[in-house]
Amino acid sequence: MPVIRSHHLSAILTVSPRFVSWQEVDFLALLKEAVSAAQLTAVGEVAHTFQPQGISVALLLAESHVALHFWPDLQKVAIDIHVCDYQQENQHKAEHLAELLTAKLTDPNLRAVKATDPAPVWHYLSASG
């Protein structure tokens, strides 16, 4: 009987100040570009803007999903990446997506100035059955 593996990566990142004015469409475009570069397949999308502030966007992937939740007042994003191995191994694609999103969203120069912001840390969970 085949085994299915599930890979989940998550992080809370401090983002560059340039993202404070971004809208749903901007974050969706960023996710789509990164997903494509990681060789994953977007098959659907959803977005919501909260009042008075905050944005959540998600892409449904052929491999599972990726979601980004943005708090502009805190300059923080929470990102969840979930991929499954069904007919191929996808863990390396999820890890590449995490690297791409970290590079696109964070400002290493800002982290060097603001010592209270730790370097981006991704948490990984794997399950199989």
The CA distance from 11 to 78, in Å, is: 6
CA angle (29 as vertex; 108, 73 as ends), nearest 5: 55
> Percentages helix, strand, coil for the chain, rounded to the nearest 5?
30, 40, 35
Residue type (1 letter), 79: I
Residues serving a catalytic function are: 64, 69, 84
Distance, C-alpha 39 to centroid of its chain: 14
